[in-house]
Structure 1
Amino acid sequence: MSQTSSATGGKLPISTRLLYGSGTIAFGVKDHGFNALLMLFYNQVIGLPAAWVGSAIMIAMIADALFDPLLGQYSDNFRSRLGRRHPFMYAAALPIGLFYLLLWSPPDASNTIQFAWLVTTAIFVRFSISLYEIPSTALLAEFTSDYDERTKLVAARFFFGVCGGLGMTVVTFGYFLQPTPEQPVGHLNAGGYAVYAWVAAAIMVVSVLISSLGTQTEVLKRPAPPPRAAISTSQMLKEMLSILVHPSYISILLASLFFAIASGINMALQMYFSTYLWELSANQIAMVASTSVIGIVFAFVVVLPLSVRFGKKSSALLMFSLALVSNVTPLILRLADLFPANGEPMLLWLLMGQFAFTMMATIAGGILAVSMVADVTDQIQLETGHRSEGLLFSASTMVNKAVSGMGILLAGLLLAFVNFPDNAQPGLVGDDVLRSLAGVYICTTLLATILAIICLAYYPINRSRHIENIRQLGENTL
């Protein structure tokens, strides 16, 4: 077997897994901001219509759709003394912090100017995150070809990403977004968002630099694939298209996309349900968010045993289904008047349990999906003779960003559809509006998750096929 094959086939030290995963703290912080706060901040604090906020994020996502695959393809063919991926990762750190800070500092101007500000800063935040996240994620397939070791690496990424988002949730609602005499609802406190932005930006910069520096030595241990001969732009685009529509890849990509959309709608509207439907205080919202630690722990406890026992595909199908049931059950019970009334102690306990279970299923499903993408890279290398981790994971990263793109867009459209008022105060939103919002959310989430399950059913790579792919790749390099 070749040097490359042997270098990537074994287990990695736990320090490498931890340093590799630590960079996703930045992604988790960014996702928390986009998913939980951005719609609420621009719509209810700044006063920009919800449909405008959703449209702005969708425009940024479209720009991402053009940028990410080109970045992935370029990093696949890039060579330097620091490796293929690390120059991009280092370059991303400061822009991530700067543009994230600007995102939360819109000018006091007309809605049109604020919309333009949101579009521009959201695009640059997403581009900066891509500059780190795509090359970093591509390292997954380079570090190891082991079927289960890849799941461990993905689990490390999700662990730090979720902890980053969770930590910011607890700190933000526990300390930054506190009530004031002028604004008795803490999470509508404009001043708290300014403090949040500075802290979040600093954390993102530090986490990216720590991960990049911490994985540099491990990358240099592994010989880079030989550089490819120069190809024309049309040939490059043709090659990119053929890889992105590969049957094995498109099934997991679409499944991840629809699952991300369902998760994104949930995250974008969670604050609305917590604030206006359940009428929770900022401290209670922090309490609910903190219970996701239980979900995180259970996700990492169950994901590897399930993958070993039943395979990644079957385990992911189970997690997708459980996430759907957990997401919609409280709302269905409230619509049927079978859920505790607002203010009752049992309500908070049930919401805490539901949130923890949802986090467990969502995180475990996401871990398995990303690990399956890594297995596709070997299948495509076997068929084409070229390694395309950056290109493949660029689309996968794009799917993860759909959580905050399509999710926020659809959330904004749903809010507009039910005529949810801007600058609303808890307790003053009509019951008919809240019930309509819950109803359309249930239908949308149900549709998106069912589509994800159908697409995932067509994913063809199981453990035995992956092992055979690795065996044949080893023979080809002899």
Structure 2
Amino acid sequence: MTSAATSSDTARSISDIAPPSVWTKLAYGVGAIAYGVKDNGFNFFLLLFYSQIVGLDARLVGLAILCALVVDAISDPIVGYWSDNFRSRWGRRHPFMYASAIPVALSFYLLWNPPVGWSQQSLFFYLLGLSIVIRTAITLYETPSAALAPDLTSDYEQRSSLIGYRFYFGWTGGNLMTVIMFFLIFPTFTTDLVPSGQFARESYAVYGIIASVMIFAAIMISALGTHSRIKHLNPPPPKRTMTMGRVFKEIFETLSERAFASLFIANLFGAVATGLAGGLTFYFLVYFWGFSSIQQGYITLGTFLAALIGFVLAPIITRTIGKKRGAMIIGLVAFLGAPVPIVLRLLDILSSNGTDFVFWFVFVTNVVDVGLIICFQILVSSMGADLVEQSELKTGRRSEGVFTSAMTFVRKCVQGFGLMAASFVLALANFPKGAAVGEVPQESIWSLGAYYVPAILTLWIAMMVFVSTYSISREDHEENLRKLAEKKVISSGT
């Protein structure tokens, strides 16, 4: 057999590893429910709960989340690097996944059950402390768990499929908890004294219990469901003397990849935009559009359809026009179209609140737009997975955890800079704290939309500019696999 034939066979052995079974994909995907539930809670309910119900100043809520982000700047890359190099009979990733289950669930429960009667200062430090604990605990799970994707398959198209499961369950799992809130929990606590259970403290106490159980179950199902694949995953690099200097040197060496910088900065802008949008979602649904709790529940139900659109569309886009080109086209359509209903209302083109047309117009545009956004996120995440082999060629190490931790850190900016931006939009609009529906001045409602639209469009356009600089194509990825195969042939002496 010629050396060229040997290289070709070895290349196929890398890219043609038996793809993950449907069960493995499901288990891997279900794990995202934990982050999805936590994410939805932080994005949609946290600012509203602590500012409008608990009574903590909205700016202090944003500040607490932002301060906790500083801790992540240190913990995320360390956990990622640690899981890349961890040695155990359960592989590199699973020990972290199992260890995180109880701390994540318990701290999330405590977040929604703050003490009654505490001062603003005490509530601020309570929120700050729990935010740090939750961030650290979810990092111990999400970073090693998400880092499994490049290990489970190296195939260009299969990665989009596998990551599609992750995003589908992440969106629908977190959304399911939101639907439960609107259709079951909020109605239960609606009384004559509290016309909407959305403003009842007891609603969020129940939410904390149910959400914590879902988080714990999702982590354990994912860890157990992918446990059998441990023996097929890549081993850690050879043992070497480790110092803090060497650790950070290797982290920076890994993250110096130019294609990574493109995705990192793009995701940074995208995460802040998502946090801004998420933090104000229910302000728009409740105050700007005047939707009832049931109508808000239906809007939330639409996310299940949106997740299905993204889940089905992303592999098709990957197969037909490629990840980067698809992400650019889908992203531009989604992000330019997202604020259209708000703009039409600001221009008095859309009819008044309370009509069926307004509700269904917002519902349909939201489903389509969120579906395209999910597709975009899957494509960009799959682009990130393709960085692993390019980095391995350069450094000689597989660093899935380091890359994933960097992106996890970006996603957590959703709760940091994103919620901070949302709190300042509310302040600029002179939005009153604790106001019921009908008590907010029309000037504040109009200003909410007027400040929000240019802010969100600026962030999304900046994100797309950096996505356009990403440079790894399908051909580049396959060439990286071929070169890695040749290096294995040379190192094995065959």
TM bracket, shorter-chain basis:
over 0.9
1:329-368: per-residue Cα shift (whole Å, max 9, x none)?
0110010001121111111111111221121121111111
Q: How does 1:81-230 map to 2 (within 5 A)?
A: 81-108=89-116, 109-178=118-187, 179-222=190-233, 224-230=235-241
Aligned to 1:392: 403
| Contact 1:4 1:222 (8 Å CA) reproduced | no
Measure the CA separation in 2 of the matches of 1:317 and 1:402.
22
Conserved? CA contact 2:167–2:378, under 8 Å: yes
Measured against aligned partners, the alpha-carbon deviations of 1:389-428 in whole angstroms (never above 9, x if no partner) come to 1011001111222223222111011112222111011111
Q: What is the aligned partner in structure 2 of residue 449 from structure 1?
A: 460
Please tell me the residue identity of whatever aligns with 1:285: Q
AA partner of residue 403 (structure 2): L
Q: What does 1:14-413 align with in structure 2 at a 5 Å threshold?
A: 14-108=22-116, 109-178=118-187, 179-222=190-233, 224-413=235-424
CA distance in 1, matches of 2:157, 2:12: 19
Contact 1:7 1:222 in 2 (8 A): no
Which AA in structure 2 matches 1:318?
I
Q: 2: distance between equivalents of 1:47 and 1:441?
A: 24
Question: For 2:226, what is the secondary structure of its paired residue?
Answer: helix
Q: Which amino acid aligns with 2:279?
A: A
Letter in 1 for 2:83: S
Q: If you compute each CA radius of gyration, which structure gives the higher value, 1 or 2?
A: 2
Task: Return the alpha-carbon distance in structure 2 between the equivalents of residues 241 and 230 of structure 1.
Answer: 18
Please name the residue that 2:3 is paired with: none
The alpha-carbon deviation at position 2 of structure 1 amounts to 6.1
Q: Which runs of 5+ in 1 are unaligned?
A: none
Equivalent position SS for 1:79? coil
Distance 1:107 1:451 in 2: 41
Alpha-carbon separation, structure 2, partners of 1:319 and 1:259: 14
The Cα offsets for residues 240-298 of structure 1, whole Å up to 9 and x where unpaired, read as 12322321101011112212221221111010011111111111100111012221121
Change (3 A) 1:406 1:358: farther
Regions of 4+ moved over 4 Å: 1-5
Aligned letter for 1:379?
Q
Matches of 1:356 and 1:470, distance apart in 2: 38
**Deviation per residue, 1:74-123 (Å, 9 max, x gap):** 11111100000000000000011100011111112001100101111111
- CA RMSD of the aligned region, Å? 1.5
Q: CA deviation at 1:5?
A: 5.3
Alignment CA distance shift 1:8-1:99 (3 Å):
farther
Distance in 1 of aligned mates of 2:241 and 2:406: 23
Partner residue in 1 for 2:4: none
For 2:97 and 2:31, locate their aligned partners in 1 and report how far apart those are by CA, in whole Å. Answer: 10
- Contact conserved, 1:54 with 1:412, CA < 8 A, in 2? yes
Contact 1:8 1:143 in 2 (8 A): no
The answer (yes or no) to whether the contact 1:21–1:211 under 8 Å persists in 2 is yes
Conserved 8 A contact 1:243-1:380? yes
Distance 1:5 1:406 in 2: 44
- One-letter amino acid matched to 1:207: A
Distance change >3 Å, CA 251–CA 195, structure 1 → 2? same
Q: Give, in angstroms, the shift of residue 4 of structure 1.
A: 11
Indicate how the Cα distance of structure 1 residues 34 and 334 shifts in structure 2: closer, same or farther if over 3 A, else same: same
CA distance in 2, matches of 1:398, 1:446: 22
Deviations 1:113-163 (A, max 9, x none): 001011111111111111110001111111111001111111010011111
- Is residue 259–residue 320 contact of structure 1 (8 Å, CA) maintained in 2? no
Partners of 2:275 and 2:329 in 1: CA distance: 19
SS of aligned partner of 1:191: helix
- Please point out which of 463, 470, 473 is paired with 1:459: 470
Percent same amino acid at aligned positions? 38
Matched length: 478
Distance in 2 (CA, whole Å) between partners of 1:351 and 1:363 is 18
Per-residue Cα deviation, 1:373-396 (whole angstroms, up to 9, x for no partner):
110111000111111110110011
